[in-house]
Amino acid sequence: TNWLPYAYFSHKLTDKWNYNVSFVTHIYRSSFSDLSNYKNRLSSVLYTQGNPELQPSINYHPQLEVNYGAHSLALSYYYTKDVIADYFETIGGKTYRQTINFGSQTATELNYAFNGKLLPWWRVNVQAMCNYVTIPQSYNQKYSWQQSLTWQNYLTFKDIGNFEVGTIWQSDVVSGN
């Protein structure tokens, strides 16, 4: 049994200004097959094996968000304990893949969003995010800056109809060890 607390507080300062403070806990569990004590031969040199000692991964996420009209700015922090990751080990010319708990991971994120009308017929939804990730025990990249930009345009023309056009850009993302 895991206790997963969360808390949320919101306060409206004026008609346009408000802020939110939250703390959320998430749990990530591996599949049952990863928890089994098995060894499976995939080829003459590649095996996969279970890990009955695998623990769930718990993520703690505090966030502060400030809103002004159609604008939003959020600062988030993520701490993940016992990250679940694939581990590869070569013994005697054979490679074994096993899911393990791989230390901790932290991320700090700044997120800006705007959702409003620029003109009576043109509504836009823009979100920009930058994120700094640390994975201290990683074999490859221990630190990473990640950025993304989403831009959606909603155009409404009388007697013609509605159109939607947008784009998403994202920098390289680290999602492994």
H or E stretch at 32: helix 32-35
* Single-letter code of the amino acid located at 15: D
pTM (2 decimals)? 0.79
pLDDT-based confidence at residue 139 (cuts at 50, 70, 90): confident
Query: Token digits for 85?
Result: 């990751």
What is the percent of the chain where pLDDT is above 70? 97
**pLDDT digit string, tens, across residues 57-107:** 999 999 999 999 999 999 999 999 999 988 888 999 999 999 999 889 999
Under 8 Å between Cβ of 50 and 63: no
Predicted local confidence at residue 136, as pLDDT: 78
Residue keyed to tokens 């899911």: 99
CA 109 and chain centroid, separation: 10
**pLDDT digit string, tens, across residues 32-62:** 889 999 999 999 999 999 999 999 999 999 9
